[in-house]
Amino acid sequence: MGKSLTRKIIESHFVSGDMTPGKEIFIKVDQTLTHDINAVMTYLAFEAIGLDRVRTECSVSYLDHNLLYVDNKTPDDHIYLQSAAKKFGVYVSRPGNGICHTVHVSRFGVPGKVSMGGDSHTPHGGAIGMLCIGVGGMDVATAMTGVPMRLTMPRVVRVNLTGKLRPGCNSKEVILEMLRRVTIKGGLGNVYEYVGPAVAEMEIPARATIANMGAEMGATTSIFPADAQVKRFLAAQGRPEAYTELLPDEDAEYDETIDINLSKLEPLIACPHQPDNVMPLHQAEKKRVQQVFIGSCTNASYADIAKAALVFKGHHVNEDVSCTCAVSSKQVYRQLMRDGYVEMLLDAGVRLLEIACGPCCAIGQTPATDGVAVRTSNRNFKGRAGNPTAKIYLVSPESAAATAIMGTFATAEDIMGENVKILDSIHEPDQYDIDDSMILPPLSPEEAAKVEIVRGPNIKFLPVPEPPQETLDAPISLKARDNVSTDDITPASAEFSSMRSNIPLMSQYCYHRYDPEFAARAKEMGQSVIIGGENYGQGSSREHAAINPMYLGVKAVIAKSIARIHKGNLVNHGVIPMLFEDGADYDRLEQTDELHIDNLREQIAARRVQITDKTKGFSFWAKLELTDKEIEVVLNGGQLRTLKKQLEAEKEA
């Protein structure tokens, strides 16, 4: 049997392990990326490791999320990040250059490479046949040291795309349909490899929408072949030499196949408060819409914005709607200006925002109380827009523009009628406007040695956990429901994002919107355990969702299931991730129950832990679904201690 593209790339980067799905492997990582609101912890960890320079082919630090600078904190962070990048041989993409994933695939992406990014939407780069995996910041710091990265060997799912999207439909419809079928946790342990005749017609940013938002299925990543479309894209980026054809074998073996006929898709909408709550847009209950946002790494490409602009042409944003648009990169913005689309947006009353993530992660444009917000971004969790009373709906840029005009859910066809066919004439440029003046290349080792890292008052220390003791006595500080997201644990917004370099401050707001008493309660308890439902820690890769509870004394999370990236973050930061052997035990536990565990270290090593609820007088079992390396990291008290040991051992050898 032939090989999938995923298998080929993993084989070419394989260092050790067992390539059976579900088993632990170690692979070489070629590239890393970080962004401003997650990266300070990554670079503090890299400093603590003690290497002079990154050992990857290319590492890039993007300053792209929080550009509002409402006080000193974010500029402090940006200055720190820029100086750390200079010190350690890292590229910097300066504020205003664009959103990390868009810029990375355009200016650094190379088919067949492996990239790890401190952001859950890193799989965006799968659009050009790279294996791109979102991980926590400590994992990025590890990858920057050049040590092989641990990964669970994925199952590979073939997604066979046939047919042709109707005019007015976007590749957003494809990923929303995938989410409808697979659900937000159904992708765990899988790589989704897109093939089939419709893929050949799909341009790179359209593929990127799918690969990017595949993160919402909990997947390891998503990938497309490096074919003629990739060749054209890289040539248009002025980098034809980066292209290598990379296809799955014709008789490639897959673990599962999903078929989607694009001709049968209609405009879809993800309703509050999960991205898999998907239905045909015309079947959604009509609501008055207060806010529309067109942007994000998922849907702010040239073709996305140009199509939205054409829907607006001759119309105006409804008087009850605030409609904003944030283009994904300076490159795309220039092209849209030149081709007249920016003017169309302005004429329609669209408010053009800075080139950044912005509203996608609640950095500006918070909806009003109980407001209905329609967005082209990728997440609609409660509170994701900065206001837990808001209701977020996710759609394509075409549907977002139509909705902004109508003031209620609408499609491009509702506005344009037969003329909707015009949208099919929009394609990505044959030649992008290339200007890398906002990318600072790494300094030479000699120049880098002279750089002083600048640490403003917002940059606090990186907390390092202690290894687990033999006995644990700890009460339950929180019993959380199913699908708790990292936004629930560490709220998104300009204000909270700017605290991410300051754990003593940020930890005071841990679970702030979910349970405002949590931080004080956990601190008062000294050490405690969190109980979680299904899919605990879904969403962003933000490791603060592990660091803050750890800093407040949380020693373990016992849940029905834990999302992939969050589980890795808990391990890295010394919080023991356990799963109920019998989910019914979840119902028997209550907040403040006193738990007791004997022989904890031995039981961790055995991957099975008996826990006694001293308050209620019963015992139950939890298991650890962790690889050998992850068990070692937990017992060591986190990844930083483990990595330092490993590098010291290498030095002595």
Residues in touch with ligand F3S (CB under 6 A): 65, 99-101, 119, 121, 296-297, 357, 360-361, 377-378
Task: Using the minimum distance from each CB to ligand F3S, give the nearer residue, 277 or 378.
Answer: 378
d(CA 484, CA 383): 12
Residue 24, judged by CB atoms within 10 A of its CB (0-12, 13-18, 19+), counts as: middle
CB 112 within 8 A of CB 9: yes
Whichever of 296 and 603 has its CB closer to ligand F3S, that residue is: 296
Q: Which residues pair with 476 in a beta bridge?
A: 529
**Smaller CB separation from ligand F3S, 93 or 636:** 93
Strands in 372-375's sheet, in edge-to-edge order, are 278-280, 268-270, 391-394, 372-375, 291-294, 322-325, 351-352
- Which of 237, 378 has the CB closer to ligand F3S? 378
* Residue 122 CB, nearest approach to ligand F3S (Å): 9
Q: Rounded to the nearest whole angstrom, what is the least distance from the CB of residue 444 to ligand F3S in the complex?
A: 30
| Phi, psi for residue 389 in degrees, rounded to 5 | -85, -10
The nearest distance, CB 40 to ligand F3S, in angstroms, is 16
- How far apart CA 28 and CA 286 sit, in angstroms, is 50
The single residue listed with the structure tokens 């409808």 is 180
Q: What gap in Å lies between CA 404 and CA 398, rounded to an integer?
A: 10
The number of angstroms, rounded, from the C-alpha of 240 to the middle of its chain's C-alpha atoms is: 28
**Would you say 202 or 357 has its CB closer to ligand F3S?**
357
Considering only CA atoms, which of 107, 265, 129 is closest in space to residue 207?
129
For ligand F3S, the closer CB: 35 or 87 = 35
DSSP category for residue 1: -
Pairing of strands 155-162, 149-152: unpaired
Please choose, from the candidates 258, 257, 259, 254, the residue with its C-alpha nearest in 3D space to the C-alpha of residue 1.
254
**How far apart are CB 186 and ligand F3S at their closest, in Å?**
20
Whose Cβ is closer to ligand F3S: residue 356's or residue 410's?
356
Q: Which residue, 77 or 119, is less far from ligand F3S as judged by CB?
A: 119
Instruction: Compute the least distance from the CB of residue 451 to ligand F3S, in Å.
Output: 27
**Nearer to ligand F3S by C-beta: 378 or 493?**
378
Q: Is beta strand 618-623 parallel, antiparallel or unpaired with respect to 576-580?
A: antiparallel
Given phi > 0 = left and psi -120 to 50 = alpha, else beta, which region is 168?
left
Q: Rounded to the nearest whole angstrom, what is the least distance from the CB of residue 394 to ligand F3S in the complex?
A: 11
In the complex with ligand F3S, the residue whose CB is nearer, 329 or 642, is 329
Q: In what order do the strands lie in the sheet with 439-440?
A: 131-134, 114-117, 31-35, 58-62, 91-93, 439-440
In the beta sheet, which residues pair with residue 373? 291, 392
Task: Report the nearest approach of ligand F3S to the CB of residue 436 (Å).
Answer: 20
**Residue with Cβ nearer ligand F3S (350 or 519):** 350
Which residues make Cβ contacts (< 8 Å) with residue 63, sequence separation at least 6? 35, 36, 78, 81, 82, 92, 93, 94, 95
State the minimum distance, in angstroms, from the CB of residue 212 to ligand F3S.
7
Question: Least distance to ligand F3S from the beta carbon of 326, Å?
Answer: 8
Shortest CB 540 distance to ligand F3S, Å: 8
Tell me the closest approach of the beta carbon of residue 282 to ligand F3S, in angstroms: 27
CB 341 within 8 A of CB 175: no
